A and B are shown apart, each in its own frame.
Chain A
Amino acid sequence: MGMKPKEKMIVKGKRLDGRKPDEIREIEMKVGVIPNANGSAQVRFGRTVAIAAVYGPRPLFPKHRQESDTAIIQCRYNMAPFSVEERIRPGPSRREVEISKVTRLALEPALFLEEYPETVVDVYIEIIQADGSTRVTGINAASLALADAGVPMRDLVVALSGGKIDGTTIIDLCGKEDNYSVADIPLAFLPRKGEITLLQMDGQLTPDEMKTIIKNVIKAGKKVYEKQKEALRKKYQE
C-alpha cells in the first residue's frame, strides 16, 4: 500500500497530469529498433520508456537445460541506472528478478514454443526511463518484439495497470500515482480469448472494486492492442 500523499491526487475528476480516471497516457510504439536482434520494439507510455529485444529461437546451452519437446523462454527485466531519480546500482535486484519471472509467465501462454524443441527464446527488457507501470510497458514491448521476431503467437500480449487513488479507480498509473495509490494492479492478457496471464496486486480493495478495476483494465487494454497492431503494420509498410 502506498504512502500518504501530501497533495490531493485527483482534483475535480482530473489526475495530476490532467488525465481522466480511465484515460491512458500518450502511447508511442516502434518495432524493429535494434538491428542485431531477431525482433525488437520501443514502447513509451507517457514518461515510461521500455526497449525490448528478442534473440532466438536459438540453440540452448548448456545442453542439459534443453527440453526435447519445447523451446524455453528466458526473460530479463532490467532498469538502467539513470532511469529513475535516485541512481540504481547495476545488477539484478530482488524486485527485478521477480518481475523477470512474472514477465516470462505473462508471455509464455501466447507462444507456440513446442514448434522449436531444444531451443531458447531470450527476451530482454530494458527500462530506460521509469515513471510508473514499467513492468506492463516492458511486456507490451516484449510482445511486439516477439511478433517482430516472427515467433509464432496465439495472440499479442497486452498489458496495462489499474489501481485506486483518492477513492477513484484509475487506469495506467504514473510514478507518483504508483507511490501514493491505495492499490496497484499490473495486468496482462491475451485479448482474443480474454485470457489473463499476469495479475499482481498490492494494496487494499473490496472484491467489488477489484472486479471493477480488472474489467476496466481489460476494456482500456483494447486501445493498447490496437496500438500494438498498428506498430507492427507500420513496420511492414515501410
Chain B
Amino acid sequence: MRQEYVLKLLEADERVDGRKLDEFRNIKIETDIIERAEGSARVKIGKTDVIVGIKMDLAEPFPDIPDEGMLKTGAEFSPIASPDFTSGPPGEDATELARIVDRGIRESECIDLEKLCLKSGEKVWCVFVDVHMINHDGNLIDTSALAAVAALMKTKIPELKGDEIIRDKLKKKLPIKHTPITITVGKVLGKFLIDPIREEEEVLDSKLTVAVMEDGKICAMQKSGNQGLSDEETIKMIDLAIKKSKEIRKLL
C-alpha cells in the first residue's frame, strides 16, 4: 500500500516529504562530539543520524607497503537505529557500507598515509574509522561517508612517548590531502533520485554510489540494487552525483 503511494508520487515527480527528486533533506554536521575519540562527527540528514568516531593506534604495517599508515573502517548497524537491525556481527549491508566508506577515503588519498609511518616496516599509525548508526531513515551510505570525512578533518594525532600513546595530549592534525564526497543516486521508474528516505529506498530498482574529489574526479563507485543500468543512465547518474557533491562539499 505504502509502496504504491510512494511510487505514485514519484511518477508525478513528487516525494512523500515534498522534496524535488534531486534535493537533499536538511543536513546537520556536528564535530568533536566524542571527547574520548581522536576525531568524531555526528551527521543528521533528515531523520537519519550517524556517529563516526576515529581512534588512532600503533600497528605493524603491511609487508608490501612498509612506509604507509593503515586505515581500517568498520560499521555497525546498531539495533537502536531501526526495528529491522538485530544484534550480532555486521551483516552484508553493514559490511558493504563500511567498504564503500573505506574505498572513498582510501582511493581519494584523503589521509596522507605516508606521513603516518613512524619506522619503515615496523611501526605506523593505524586510523580506525568506526561508523555507528543511531537512526536509520534512508541514505545511510552518504550520511556515513560525510560523517567519516568530517570526523577525519577534525582528527588529531596523540602524542607519543616511545611506544606509549599519550591520549589526553593530542598533538598535530591528521594529515588530510583530499576530501571525497560520496553521493548515491537512486533509480526508479526511469527517474533519478537523490537522498531517498527509507520507504523510497524500498521501491528503488537500483542505486549508484559515487565518491567525488574536490576537482570533480571520481575516486570510487558502487552499483547496488537488483536491476541493471544502461550506459546512458549510468553516465547521467554520475553527472548528477558530481553536481550534488559540489553542493554538499560547501557544508564541510
Q: Find the B residue at minimum CB distance from A130.
A: B36
Interface pair B36/A84, CB less than 8 Å apart: yes
CA distance A85 to B164 in the complex (A): 13
Contact with A along B84-119 (1 / 0, CB 8 A): 000101100000000000000000000000000000
Of the listed residues A81, A82, A86, the one surrounded by the most CB atoms of chain B closer than 10 A to its CB is A82
Interface pair B57/A87, CB less than 8 Å apart: yes
CA distance A87 to B51 in the complex (A): 15
Interface pair B76/A87, CB less than 8 Å apart: no
Q: Find the A residue at minimum CB distance from B94.
A: A90
Q: Which residues of B contact A133 (CB under 8 A)?
A: none
Q: A83-B36, A90-B90 are in contact. Are A37 and B76 (CB under 8 A)?
A: no
Residue B79 is within 8 A (CB to CB) of chain A in the complex: yes
CA distance A131 to B135 in the complex (A): 24
Q: A81-B53, A83-B53 are in contact. Are A36 and B82 (CB under 8 A)?
A: yes
Interface pair A90/B47, CB less than 8 Å apart: no
Interface pair A34/B55, CB less than 8 Å apart: no
Q: Find the A residue at minimum CB distance from B53.
A: A82
Residue A65 is within 8 A (CB to CB) of chain B in the complex: no
Q: Which residues of B contact A33 (CB under 8 A)?
A: 134
Q: A47-B36, A80-B51 are in contact. Are A126 and B78 (CB under 8 A)?
A: yes
CA distance A87 to B125 in the complex (A): 13
> Which of B36, B51, B83, B134 has a CB less than 8 Å from the CB of A131?
B36
> Which of B54, B80, B130 has a CB less than 8 Å from the CB of A34?
B80
Residue A91 is within 8 A (CB to CB) of chain B in the complex: yes
Interface pair A129/B36, CB less than 8 Å apart: yes
CB A104 to nearest CB in B, in angstroms, measures 13
Q: Find the A residue at minimum CB distance from B37.
A: A82
Q: A36-B135, A83-B53 are in contact. Are A78 and B34 (CB under 8 A)?
A: no
Interface pair A34/B81, CB less than 8 Å apart: yes
Residue A128 is within 8 A (CB to CB) of chain B in the complex: yes
CA distance A29 to B229 in the complex (A): 48
CB A229 to nearest CB in B, in angstroms, measures 23
Q: A80-B51, A124-B79 are in contact. Are A85 and B135 (CB under 8 A)?
A: no
CA distance A182 to B35 in the complex (A): 27
Residue B74 is within 8 A (CB to CB) of chain A in the complex: yes
CB A56 to nearest CB in B, in angstroms, measures 9
Interface pair A82/B79, CB less than 8 Å apart: no
Q: Find the B residue at minimum CB distance from A74.
A: B87
Of the listed residues A36, A40, A129, the one surrounded by the most CB atoms of chain B closer than 10 A to its CB is A36
CA distance A56 to B47 in the complex (A): 20
Interface pair A128/B132, CB less than 8 Å apart: yes
Given contacts A80-B34, A85-B167, A130-B36, 14 further A-B contacts (CB under 8 A): A35-B135, A36-B47, A36-B82, A36-B135, A80-B132, A81-B132, A82-B40, A82-B130, A85-B36, A86-B55, A86-B57, A87-B128, A126-B80, A128-B53
Task: Give 19 A-B contacts (CB < 8 Å), ordered by A residue.
Answer: A33-B134, A34-B49, A36-B47, A53-B80, A55-B79, A58-B83, A76-B87, A78-B87, A81-B74, A81-B128, A81-B130, A81-B132, A82-B54, A82-B128, A84-B36, A85-B167, A87-B57, A91-B89, A130-B36
